[in-house]
Each structure stands twice: as C-alpha cells, then as structure tokens.
C-alpha cells in the first residue's frame, strides 16, 4: 500500500479544509481561521504552531511564555510566518509573559484554541486553566508526570464541555503508514498477539545556558534533564512507542518490572540514560521495551514490533513498515529504506515514516473543532502516561509494580521553588 491508496480508501486521516462542511457546528465557517494561542514558545511549540498555520485554517494570534526572551523570539518568528501567509502580525495585547501567562492566555476572549507546549511538569495545571476557559486545547504529551497529576487530569477530562475539543500530542498515531498498519492489526492481521518488543534510542539533548541565570532558571531551561520537570526519558520521550503499543494491543499494561540507570551522563539532572522494561498486558502478552538517551554520534532508532499467531508487524520511525505471514502487507514508500536511518528531531518534526504525522494530526484536530465530532483525548493520554510511570516506578524501585500499586503508591514530584521569581 502507498499513501495515495491509503487516502483513497477513505480510512486515512486526511480531512483537509476542503473536506469540511461549509457551515459548521461551533459557529466556524470552514474557510475562517481558528484563532490559535500558543503557550510555550520553545522548540516543539514553535514547530507545531507553524505546522498548524501552514496546514490548517488555524492562525497564530496570541503567544504566552514564562520567559520574556522566549516570548520575543516567538513573536519574531510568528510575525514573519504570518507575513509570509498574508496574515497580520500578532497584536501586542495578545502577548503574555511570566508565571501567570497561562491564565492570561486562557482568559482572552480573542482566541479559540490553546496549544500547551510547556515542560511536562506544567501540562496538567495548564490543561486545567485551558479546559476551564472553554477553549479547544492541543496539549503535548505526557498528560502528567506523576500519579497525582494523572488523577487530576482525569477530573479535568470530566469538565470538558460538549463541542469542546481536546487533543493530546501523540502525532505518531496519525503518521499515514502507522495509521494504515494499525488499521490492519486492529482488523486481526496478526491473529492472536503473543508478544511485542520496542526501542527508543536517541541522542542526548544539549545544554541551554544563559549568563547570570539562577539555578532555578537553569533547571527550568534544562527541564529535559530533570525528572520532576520532564517525568524522565520513559515518560517524556519513550512514551510515543509505549503509546503505539497500548493502542495496537488495545489494552494498557497490568504490571511492569524494569531496570536502568544513569551509566553515561554526568551533567546536571537526575533522568536516567537507559531503561529496560518488561510490561505485562492482559493475556500474558509481554512487551519488552528498551531505551537509551545519551551520546552525540547521531544514532537514532525507534520502533515497535508485534508478533502474532498469523504474522508479525514491524513499525519503525525509519525503515520498512510491513506485516509478514498470512496477511502480508507493506507500506510501499518505506520499502527499500534502511532501518534506523532516521535523523533525530528534537522538535518532533521527523522526516521519515513520521513525515506527515504532525500535519495529519493537526488537520484531524481542526476538523474536530470546525465540523465535529469534538475529541476528548485526556483519559487515553493519561492511560499512556501512567503506563510509562509504571515502568519508571518499577525501574526506580527495582521491583515488579502492578497498575493498582502504582495508583495507590506512585511517587509524586514537586517543583521545589516558586515561579513567582520570574514575574
């Protein structure tokens, strides 16, 4: 199968603006802009908001960030982008910075959609304000870094209003080859699934340093190295593969045992640089997952393999995506590509099998706003975040941990300082 054929089956996630009904459920005209406010003008936030602007009817009209320099960089970037798209520059009244920026953005009457692209520790707090404001929300993964936040997110999910759409940033599900193979697997192409393996091997992230900054500011800017702020590599980044496994197996893990540690990294922070997790799903299906995050040799390799009674499925970020056995199938455009040949993209904008993931995710989300039905992906996002926390807790405590044990005794994290100092 190739991309054209997948789109023609009608099952692909293609809904571009042209496919929308002309007059729609929430008062939007199919051709009018969804007014978009970005919270967190960093790497990923900028990449996703740019892609929204280029691929959907969303228009960036507001920006918010804790730090004035990041807000200013965001403003320069989006004014240039808006000009290139024939749209006005952002009104200075629509720029918010400081610890209350997220509340000011949420209070604005002049936006329809809030994109939350702040560090993971803040997602649930920001989601709470955004959902309470009644605006549509695109929230980056993970939905929570600890059990307390995850439970709070489930309460927030109940407060999503009819017609209000909330997406979580698992764009890999929308990558056309991954969406296509998931459809085959869910239709039974592998027969009974026996076991799965997965990996996420990524390079180290680079340090961000500013002259004269305090230790708290340094920590916030290097949140990727800090377990409380990021959730650790399993919860923050490896989550994409664990999400694909949950989705394709159609369940969440019952328990996990794990090992790992910090064998290479010596810089600031407490995130581990490797994890090995054995997740047990219902039916004694084991998912063996391993990850590394260190080094600067450019090696990047992530993917999932599922093994069933009738065949196996290989789903890498880069390399051939295929099903073997009784229901042989492959994604033509990935045939002949080399496994593990992908380039790491810190902003999540990958150019391999994920090339159209963001675009299709954003189009589907905007369609849910302009023509419905509205999404509410919070509970699903929480399940995946908790699955990762299960692996993290098993690793940190060096013992088998069940889902119930996690919910009852899962560790909690504090920021340990006030953001008031950045007002």
Ligand X SMILES: NC(=O)c1ccc[n+]([C@@H]2O[C@H](COP(=O)([O-])OP(=O)(O)OC[C@H]3O[C@@H](n4cnc5c(N)ncnc54)[C@H](O)[C@@H]3O)[C@@H](O)[C@H]2O)c1
Residues found near ligand X in the complex (CB under 6 A): 39-45, 65-67, 70, 101-102, 117-120, 122, 140-141, 169, 171, 220, 236, 347-348, 419
> In sequence order, what DSSP letters do the residues of 102-170 get, joined into one string?
HHHHHH-TT-SEEEE-S-GGGHHHHHHHHHHTT-EEEEPSPS-SSHHHHHHHHHHHHTPPTT--EEES-
Residue facing ligand X at closest CB distance: 42
Shortest separation between residue 322's beta carbon and ligand X, angstroms: 24
The values of phi and psi at residue 161, to 5°, are -85, 155
Q: Among residues 67 and 331, whose Cβ is nearest to ligand X?
A: 67
Q: Among residues 66 and 290, whose Cβ is nearest to ligand X?
A: 66
The values of phi and psi at residue 114, to 5°, are -110, 125
The answer to whether 116 and 140 have CB atoms below 8 angstroms apart is yes
Q: Among residues 278 and 383, whose Cβ is nearest to ligand X?
A: 383
Q: Among residues 374 and 419, whose Cβ is nearest to ligand X?
A: 419
The answer to whether 333 and 2 have CB atoms below 8 angstroms apart is yes
Shortest separation between residue 188's beta carbon and ligand X, angstroms: 29
Shortest separation between residue 421's beta carbon and ligand X, angstroms: 12
DSSP H or E stretch at residue 278: strand 274-281
Shortest separation between residue 140's beta carbon and ligand X, angstroms: 4
Cα separation, 143 vs 287, in Å, equals 22
Q: Among residues 145 and 306, whose Cβ is nearest to ligand X?
A: 145
Shortest separation between residue 325's beta carbon and ligand X, angstroms: 31
Shortest separation between residue 237's beta carbon and ligand X, angstroms: 7
- Strand 322-323, strand 312-316: pairing: antiparallel
Q: What tokens does 340 get?
A: 């593990």
* CA torsion, ordered 121, 41, 112, 155, to nearest 10 deg: 0
The answer to whether 105 and 94 have CB atoms below 8 angstroms apart is no
Shortest separation between residue 31's beta carbon and ligand X, angstroms: 28
Shortest separation between residue 257's beta carbon and ligand X, angstroms: 25
Distances (CA, A) of 91 to 85, 86, 107, 117: 16, 15, 16, 21
Shortest separation between residue 266's beta carbon and ligand X, angstroms: 21
Q: Among residues 74 and 320, whose Cβ is nearest to ligand X?
A: 74
Cα separation, 124 vs 8, in Å, equals 38
Q: Among residues 40 and 410, whose Cβ is nearest to ligand X?
A: 40
Q: Among residues 141 and 363, whose Cβ is nearest to ligand X?
A: 141
Q: Among residues 257 and 293, whose Cβ is nearest to ligand X?
A: 293
Whether the ω angle into residue 363 lies within 30 degrees of 0, i.e. cis, is: no
């Amino acid at each position: 199968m190739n991309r054209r054929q997948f789109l023609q089956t009608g099952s692909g996630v293609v809904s571009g603006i042209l496919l929308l009904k002309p007059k729609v459920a929430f008062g939007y005209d199919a051709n009018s802009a969804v007014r978009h406010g970005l919270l967190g003008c960093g790497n990923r936030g900028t990449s996703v908001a740019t892609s929204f602007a280029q691929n959907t009817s969303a228009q960036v009209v507001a920006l918010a960030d804790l730090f004035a320099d990041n807000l200013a960089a965001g403003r320069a970037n989006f004014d240039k982008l808006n000009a290139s798209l024939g749209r006005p520059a952002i009104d200075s009244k629509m720029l918010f910075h400081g610890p209350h920026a997220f509340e000011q953005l949420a209070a604005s009457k002049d936006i329809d959609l809030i994109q939350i692209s702040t560090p993971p520790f803040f997602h649930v707090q920001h989601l709470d304000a955004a959902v309470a404001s009644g605006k549509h929300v695109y929230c980056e993964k993970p939905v929570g870094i600890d059990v307390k936040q995850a439970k709070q997110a489930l309460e927030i999910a109940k407060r999503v209003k009819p017609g209000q759409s909330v997406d979580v940033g698992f764009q890999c599900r929308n990558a056309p080859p991954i969406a296509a193979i998931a459809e085959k697997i869910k239709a039974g192409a592998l027969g009974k699934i026996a076991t799965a393996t997965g990996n996420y091997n990524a390079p180290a992230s680079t340090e961000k340093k500013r002259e004269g900054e305090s230790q708290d500011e340094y920590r916030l800017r290097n949140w990727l190295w800090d377990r409380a702020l990021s959730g650790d590599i399993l919860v923050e980044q490896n989550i994409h593969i664990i999400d694909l496994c949950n989705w394709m197996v159609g369940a969440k893990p019952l328990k996990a045992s794990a090992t790992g540690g910090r064998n290479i990294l010596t810089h600031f922070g407490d995130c581990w640089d490797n994890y090995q997790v054995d997740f047990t799903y219902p039916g004694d299906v084991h998912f063996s997952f391993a990850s590394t995050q260190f080094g600067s040799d450019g090696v990047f390799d992530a993917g999932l393999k599922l093994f069933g009674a009738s065949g196996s499925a290989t789903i890498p970020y880069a390399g051939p995506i295929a099903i073997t056995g009784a229901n042989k199938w492959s994604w033509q455009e990935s045939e002949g590509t080399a496994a593990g040949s992908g380039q790491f993209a810190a902003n999540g904008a990958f150019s391999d099998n994920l090339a159209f993931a963001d675009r299709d995710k954003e189009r589907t989300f905007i369609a849910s706003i302009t023509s419905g039905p509205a999404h509410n992906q919070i509970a699903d996002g929480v399940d995946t975040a908790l699955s990762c926390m299960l692996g993290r807790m098993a690793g940190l405590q060096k013992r088998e941990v069940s889902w119930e044990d996690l919910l009852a005794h899962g560790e909690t994290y504090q920021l340990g300082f006030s953001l008031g100092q950045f007002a």
